[in-house]
A and B are shown apart, each in its own frame.
Chain A
Amino acid sequence: MSMPNTSIHVVIDGTAVTLAPGHSLAAALALLPPGCSRTSVTGERRAPFCGMGICHECRVLVDGRRRLACQTLCSDGMVVDTGTHPQEGSV
């Protein structure tokens, strides 16, 4: 069974990536090596680790809400923030 070849466009920290449908957001992050998802409390950059929604290392801000990248399907137009710069302003 083949799917129509519609690409998915996702913006990660301002950079656009393109991928086929059906990929997890964790897979999309890896298209921008080293594929980081967040900054730890002491400033270390972290990437998806357990792959199954347990460790929460892959939590990213997607359209304003925190989600786990390994359990989130990429959808066209998704805007993702991995916390490379401090957030300012309102909720």
Chain B
Amino acid sequence: MNAAERCDLLIVGAGPAGMAAAIAAAPSGMAITVVDDNIHPGGQIWRDGPGVQLPPLARQHRDALARHPHIRLLCGTRVVGLGGPAAPGDAPALLLEDAERGWVQHCHRLILGNGARELLLPFPGWTLPGVTGAGGLQALIKGGLSVKGQRIVVAGTGPLLLAAADTARKAGAQVIRIAEQAPWQALAAFTLQLPRWPAKALQASTLLNRHWRTSSHVLQAKGQAQLESVQMQRGNSQETLACDRLACGFGLVPNTQMGQLLGCTLNDRLGLQVDNLMATSVPHVYAAGECTGFGGSERALTQGAIAGHAAAGDTARAQALLPTLARWQGFADLLHTQFQLTDAVRQLATPDTLVCRCEDVPLRDLQARTGWIDAKLHTRCGMGACQGRVCGAATQALFGWTPAPPRHLLAPARIGTLAQSQPSTNICP
């Protein structure tokens, strides 16, 4: 059995929010551990990999993290569940696992920087090899996936489509279409507001692509052993595009499962609710970044710094950042009102289309069910490896169901890891 470990501050997630939190808290002298289940720190937006050119701000944060002797960074490390009783005045203990071992991690204060995941909706053929999320394809390319010379259709909704297309193009792919499901009127409103945030406006203009179409969405992905073509709706007509890859995502969903397992309440944006100092509803637990709701990297950095200062007990420095936070909150509020999903993209699945990919549950089996729990009892929807992270968000968009938060395991965990615990005296074998 591995010994339990303890640090003063545990930060889950090494994206912008987590890194900013660690750097803000570091001068306090707290022993800080940052964990992230990806190969490198950076989260999604600052994902590193072979051939990636990190933006200067990302490089600065990575270097600052590496420079501080009190910050221990553990990549390839995942929180799989709760870690049993904690000392009085401490944050909840967590059960961690990496490729080699599992252990209980105690901490005095906990900051959740779990980020967000893509909303992936079902449509005929979405399980074919060659179909990925939009952010998904971007992440895979950054991890070294070769797309040289491949024809790629990017579809779904949101600014992420342009960013993903840009990454693919720079990696040598031929992006033949970017299909945005929102109508241009909605996007015009968004782009008109952008000048309030000059950096974002500049970013947007560099990403614009001549293959971008609005009021356009995928109807079906086709192919035998892998993707060969996609059938698209475009306004009132349809088109079929031969392609090698389809990168399709419908916006972002905050990763709140860990917070919910800890007992944190949610806000009205389906993110973890936090106060001005990023404290959640659970004592000694803070949250920052996209897990509190979709807001962009600048807001994540600010929230992260506030959380870091607050967790270190430096309320003054935390509060000094509130005006900056308010500015980026405005951008977050704008994003929230734009890129709403049309009814059409909620109704792409046919009765045969699989909705739960882990357990191969088709739409037909779910249509008679009354809610998430009812579906779980009568089908195997949500009972597989992803614990409802894909199908839970999908059925929420399709049917309005509220997925239940996890009760014990956050992710598949090795039995060897779960066999760890605090010693107990009242059990007999």
A residues touching B (Cβ–Cβ < 8 Å)?
Answer: 19-24, 26-27, 30-31, 33-36, 40-42, 44-57, 59, 65-67, 70-73
Contact = CB atoms under 8 A, between A and B. Distances in A.
Nearest to A35: B129
Interface of B: 37-39, 44, 49-50, 76, 78, 99, 117-118, 120, 127, 129-133, 135-140, 143-146, 225-226, 357-360, 384-386, 389-390, 412, 414
Chain B interface main SS type: loop
Contact of B136 (A22, A49, A56): A49
Contact of A36 (B76, B78, B129, B131): B129
Contacts of A56: 358, 384-386, 412
A48 B99 CA distance: 19
Given A27-B145, A51-B140, A55-B120, A34 B49 contact: no
A51 B137 contact: yes
A65 B136 CA distance: 24
A72 B140 contact: no
Nearest to A45: B129
A51 to B, nearest CB: 3
Contact of A49 (B37, B357, B360): B357
Chain A interface main SS type: loop
Nearest to A38: B385
Contacts of A66: 412
B421 to A, nearest CB: 21
Contacts of A71: 37-39, 76
Contacts of B76: 71-73
A84 to B, nearest CB: 13
Contacts of A20: 50
B357 A22 contact: no
Contacts of A36: 129
B167 to A, nearest CB: 11
B357 A30 contact: no
A65 B414 CA distance: 9
A2 B307 CA distance: 37
Contacts of A73: 39, 76
B129 A47 contact: yes
A54 B136 CA distance: 10
Contact of A23 (B50, B136, B414): B50
Contacts of B39: 24, 71-73
Given A53-B37, A54-B117, A46 B143 contact: no
21 contacts: A21-B50, A22-B49, A23-B49, A26-B143, A30-B145, A34-B130, A41-B360, A44-B360, A47-B130, A47-B132, A49-B120, A49-B133, A50-B133, A50-B136, A50-B139, A50-B390, A51-B132, A52-B139, A70-B140, A71-B39, A73-B39
B389 A54 contact: yes
A69 B99 CA distance: 12
Contact of B144 (A22, A49, A67): A22
Contacts of A42: 360
Given A40-B357, A65-B99, A48 B50 contact: no
A29 to B, nearest CB: 9
Given A22-B50, A34-B226, A42-B360, A48 B132 contact: yes
A33 B226 contact: yes
Q: Give the residue among B38, B143, B386, B389 with the most A Cβ atoms within 10 A.
A: B143
Q: Give the residue among A31, A51, A55, A71 with the most B Cβ atoms within 10 A.
A: A51
A7 B414 CA distance: 31
Contacts of A41: 359-360
Contacts of B143: 23-24, 26-27, 51, 70
Contacts of B136: 48-52
Nearest to A21: B50
B350 to A, nearest CB: 16
Contacts of A52: 38, 44, 117-118, 135-136, 139
Given A45-B225, A52-B38, 8 more contacts: A24-B140, A33-B226, A40-B357, A49-B357, A50-B120, A51-B139, A65-B414, A67-B99
A33 B145 CA distance: 12
Contacts of B359: 41
Contacts of A24: 39, 49, 140, 143-145
A46 B145 CA distance: 16
B79 to A, nearest CB: 12
Contacts of B118: 50, 52, 54
Contacts of B385: 56, 59
* 7 nearest CB pairs, A to B: A51-B139, A23-B144, A24-B143, A27-B144, A34-B226, A47-B129, A51-B136
